[in-house]
Amino acid sequence: MSRQHIISLLLENEAGALSRVSGLFSARAYNIESLTVAATQDPTLSRLTLVTVGSDETIEQIKKQLNKLIDVVKLIDLSESFSLERELILLKVKKSDAMVQKIESLSVESSARITDDTDDYLIIELTGEKVWLDDFLSSLADEVLEVVRTGVVGLSRGERSLTV
């Protein structure tokens, strides 16, 4: 049975390291739903978070193949334990009273807020779990003019952590 996994890795912060990871996914025909990467507090390391879907066997193989990459320092499967996952979304809609009202009502149950307000357009910002963002996005349906998502990031809760 296929399941979604969030895999986080510490990667040598070197040119080409990211393409080793993305190249692995395309070369071995693994799914990649989102991928986000940036340097950590240690500038020699990047933290990469990717969301993939596969059977237990495939996920196991993905983790092994990732670990085999020389630039991958350490890896953690956030889906294996309690973890916090977040994604940021920015979306642009046409401004109207109805829209402003709608956002305000939606913001009661989500953290959505109007970040940019010009004469005719609004940019709405929302952070949360991927599924919340999916719901929010579908509730606005055809009214969304443009959308950008960061992809999922996450940390495991409690003591478990991904550090060198």
Partner 1 sequence: MELSGGEIVIQSLKDEGVEYVFGYPGGCVLHIYDAIFKQDDVKHVLVRHEQGATHAADGYARSSGKPGVVLVTSGPGATNAITGIATAYMDSIPMVVITGQVPRPVIGTDAFQEVDTVGITRPCVKHNFLVKDISDIAETMKKAFYLATTGRPGPVVVDIPKDITDPDIKVPYQYPEEVSMRSYHPTVSGNIGQTRKAIKLIKEAKRPVIYSGGGVVLGEASEELKQLGRTLGFPVTQTLMGLGAFPGTDPQFIGMLGMHGTYEANMAMHDSDLIIAIGARFDDRVTGKVADFCPHAKIIHIDVDPASISKTITVDVPIVGQVKPILLDMLAQLESLGETFDRARIGAWWDQIDQWREADCLAYEKNTDTIKPQFVIEQLYKVTNGEAFVTSDVGQHQMFAAQYYPFDKPRRWINSGGLGTMGFGLPAAMGVKFAHPEADVACVTGEGSIQMCLQELSTMLQYDTPVKVINLNNGYLGMVRQWQEFTYKSRYSHSYLEALPDFKKLAEAYGHVGMQITKKEDVEPALREAFSMKDRTVFMDFLTDTKENVYPMIEAGKAHNDMVMAPSSKYKRILA
Kindly report the backbone phi and psi dihedral angles of residue 56, in degrees, each rounded to the nearest multiple of 5, phi listed first: -55, -40
With tokens 């809760």, the residue in question is: 157
Give the nearest distance from C-beta 42 to partner 1 in angstroms.
Answer: 11
Residue (13 or 156) nearer to partner 1, CB? 13
Q: Are 137 and 91 in contact (CB under 8 A)?
A: yes
Q: Are 92 and 159 in contact (CB under 8 A)?
A: no
Residue (3 or 64) nearer to partner 1, CB? 64
Residue (1 or 15) nearer to partner 1, CB? 15
Give the nearest distance from C-beta 70 to partner 1 in angstroms.
Answer: 4
CA distance 153 to 143: 27
Give the nearest distance from C-beta 3 to partner 1 in angstroms.
Answer: 17
Kindly report the backbone phi and psi dihedral angles of residue 93, in degrees, each rounded to the nearest multiple of 5, phi listed first: -135, 160
Q: Are 53 and 31 in contact (CB under 8 A)?
A: yes
Residue (50 or 112) nearer to partner 1, CB? 50
Q: Which residues pair with 72 in a beta bridge?
A: 11
Residues in touch with partner 1 (CB under 8 A): 12, 15-16, 19-20, 23, 27, 57, 60-61, 64-65, 67-68, 70-74, 164
Give the nearest distance from C-beta 51 to partner 1 in angstroms.
Answer: 21
Give the nearest distance from C-beta 64 to partner 1 in angstroms.
Answer: 4
Q: Are 121 and 97 in contact (CB under 8 A)?
A: no
Residue (41 or 118) nearer to partner 1, CB? 41
Q: Are 32 and 52 in contact (CB under 8 A)?
A: yes
